Structure 1
């Protein structure tokens, strides 16, 4: 997969993230893979009672924003979560 496709696939599901990491252009799409990983890990907090629904919606919106950024071939950080770097 090329860089753009890898970035888009990473935001779709957990499976897409794994496919992007294992089969995609990891160096070219490192920014989007990192963003997607942070969003999906933060999305696990949506199981917390009371605030989980709002946090889950926020993570979904961040994933959509990241996917649109990958489609436009831009490297724009998502709000709040974009500054977190898990991959080097």
Structure 2
């Protein structure tokens, strides 16, 4: 069993959807329009400390050793939070049913 958020910050994320359904051509067809807003208030959602979610471009990859600026035996910046997930996103959709 994996607890993905046991080592990360809590998430406060509000999403919002607006939709409108309209009948056209004598009620034989409908048009559905939808606008979806993710992370409406644009809150910061931090990635896990230590680079767990940061992929190959992690700032924590270089370890100490000859030619390194890290003072200790651990990776530079170990345990610090320096990345966030994507900001607010808006998505539109249009569906025509006949």
* TM-score grouping bracket, smaller chain normalisation: under 0.3
Q: Using structure 1 for the length normalisation, give the TM-score.
A: 0.25
Computing the radius of gyration from Cα coordinates, the structure with the larger value is 2
**Bigger proportion of residues as strand:** 2
**Bigger proportion of residues as helix:** 1
Q: Using structure 2 for the length normalisation, give the TM-score.
A: 0.24
